[in-house]
A = this chain, B = another copy of it.
Amino acid sequence: MDKKGLLIVISGPSGAGKGTVVKEIIKNNDDFSLSVSATTRKPRNYEIDGEHYFFKSRMEFEDLIKEGKMLEYACFCSEYYGTPVDYVLNKLEEGKNVILEIEVQGALQVKEKYPDAVLIFLTPDNIYELKDRLIKRGSETEEKINMRTERAKEEILLVDKYDYIVINRVVKTAACDIVKIVQSEKNKAFRNLSIKETFLRNKGGEF
């Protein structure tokens, strides 16, 4: 079997519980690693460069874009956020399954640049549950919550572009489903065609 890691993109509507599910996966699986994003926004007090984000100047970030070194990026509130490709590729080479937890638009950018990526859409059962969760978070105005649920209605229409759908009812189960998906993807025939040669190799490793 191929020893390289897989690139896993987890996205879905805001309030789906992406962050919690990803933390659960990382906590229990040494072979999974969360990607570190780059941003031009200023670091907060507790944030460490290279751990929470790679903090970049606007010029540095735009150079990375021009050189094709961002796997995906977007601009929110006039700050850039994105995924540096070198960081991800190094982790994959080390054999880590790298998780990107990103927005739907970014997810589709990744699949275009790196078709081997596995796209997982994480969502609650329905929009009413999504809204309940956003209300329970208690961190946002009603207006912002309505904006997010409206966006969710558009995002759900893009599930066709994803490889898998995971319904997040129970965090542990959703995390487990995602780990199983990654393990099964490693058994995909197209990732293991070297068996055609190794099958005929003798015990000493030679033909």
**Is the pair B187, A125 in contact by a Cβ cutoff of 8 Å?**
no
Judge whether A200 is part of the interface by a CB distance below 8 angstroms: yes
Judge whether A40 is part of the interface by a CB distance below 8 angstroms: no
CA distance A163 to B156 in the complex (A): 27
**Is the pair A156, B189 in contact by a Cβ cutoff of 8 Å?**
no
Query: How many residues in A have their beta carbons less than 8 Å from beta carbons of B?
Result: 40
**Is the pair B187, A165 in contact by a Cβ cutoff of 8 Å?**
yes
Selected from B177, B183, B190, B203, the residue in CB contact (under 8 A) with A187 is B177
* 16 other A-B residue contacts (CB within 8 Å) besides A125-B199, A161-B189, A162-B189: A1-B167, A126-B199, A126-B202, A126-B203, A128-B202, A152-B199, A153-B199, A156-B195, A156-B199, A160-B189, A160-B190, A167-B195, A180-B180, A180-B184, A183-B184, A184-B185
- A-B contacts, 14 listed (Cβ < 8 Å): A126-B198, A126-B200, A126-B201, A128-B202, A128-B203, A156-B196, A156-B200, A160-B189, A164-B189, A165-B187, A165-B189, A177-B183, A180-B180, A180-B183
